[in-house]
Amino acid sequence: MYSCVYCFARKTHSYLDLDTGLGFDSQIVVKVNAPELLRRQLGSRRWQGEHIAMGTNVDCYQRAEGRYRLMPGIIGALRDHANPFSILTKGTLILRDLELLKQAAAVTDVGISVSVGFTDAELWRTVEPGTPAPERRLDVVKTLGEHGIGVGVLMAPVIPFLSDSPAQLRATVGAIAAAGATSVTPLVLHLRPGAREWFMAWLEHHHPYLVRRYERLYADGAYAPKWYQRRITRQVHELAEEYGIGPTRAGMPRRIREPEPGEAQVTEAQLTEPVQLSLI
């Protein structure tokens, strides 16, 4: 299980009458018939081929995927119907499906993004338990890039007072650039109900001196003040420009394929509206 203490998906556990704390860390709902239901939906006359975004709530390459192997069937269905899609993940297991991704990208627009908010190993161990280390995720970016698959990095979350110093931001953006990412887009930590309580309890345990600062910074709700978000965005974009990478527009699919010798890389496709399917 990925047990990120800040994960906004904790709230969705309550929709199933499950606990958003320890329950989220130890219980996962697996929709084992997802590939079949998706294939049926894609084959419906009512389906118009909308872009499908995966990983926008819960990561589809969590450890359970190694056992249930649902993603090969899902990607295969999308490939067979030439339906555009994107994947956001922290998981290294996506490399298992490299050939399927390349096959899908030959017939439709495919976008891959990897989430790497920081490169501090000590912070990772406490705030993102169960996830691959940041350097392993950057290995995914590098490996996919070596196979002609451009990968954007969602630099999320930037955690106030813990991963937001100029030196930390530079180290993270530098590592992202070194991995060959096509873009980097920062996202400051947000604390929605369900995640806020769990994160603040973690903060009290690991960094009690920051509790009052967080209470002030997030006094108006789930999001940090606009001035803070703008500052982080500006700093990251300036570093990205320095390292030769740019921002990603959320949900943006890209056509992925092996370039012919001497051929220029394919340009990024037009932004399309993602669609969330309920596979139940």
pLDDT of residue 173: 98
97 and 72 in contact (C-beta within 8 Å)? Answer: yes
Q: What is the DSSP string of 114-131?
A: EE-----HHHHHHHSTTS
d(CA 278, CA 263): 40
pLDDT for res 7: 77
DSSP string, 260-278: PTTPPPPPPPPP--EE---
The confidence score (pLDDT) of residue 195 equals: 86
Rounded CA separation 209/99 (Å): 48
Q: What is the pLDDT of residue 26?
A: 60
What's the CA gap between 218 and 199, in Å, rounded? 12
For residue 187, give every residue at least 6 positions away whose Cβ sits within 8 Å of its Cβ, in sequence order, or none.
117, 154, 155, 156, 157, 158
Report the pLDDT value the prediction gives residue 56, as an integer from 0 to 100: 84
Q: Are 228 and 217 in contact (CB under 8 A)?
A: yes
> Residue type at 206?
H
Say what the pLDDT of residue 105 is: 93
pTM (whole model) above 0.85: no
DSSP state of 113: E
How far apart, in whole angstroms, are the C-alpha atoms of residue 182 and residue 265?
11
For 154, residues 6+ apart whose C-beta sits below 8 A from its C-beta are 88, 113, 114, 115, 116, 185, 187, 248
CA atoms within 13 A on the CB side of 55: 24
Each residue's pLDDT expressed in tens, for the chain with a length of 280 residues: 656 888 765 556 565 666 555 655 566 777 899 999 999 999 999 999 999 999 887 889 988 899 999 999 999 999 999 999 999 999 999 999 999 999 999 999 999 999 999 999 999 999 998 899 999 999 999 999 999 899 999 999 999 999 999 999 999 999 999 999 999 999 999 998 888 998 999 999 999 999 999 999 999 999 999 999 999 999 999 999 999 996 544 434 444 334 344 333 333 333 334 444 433 3
Cα–Cα distance list, 178 to 36, 90, 183 (Å): 39, 18, 12
Write down the pLDDT at residue 215: 97
8-state DSSP, 257:
-
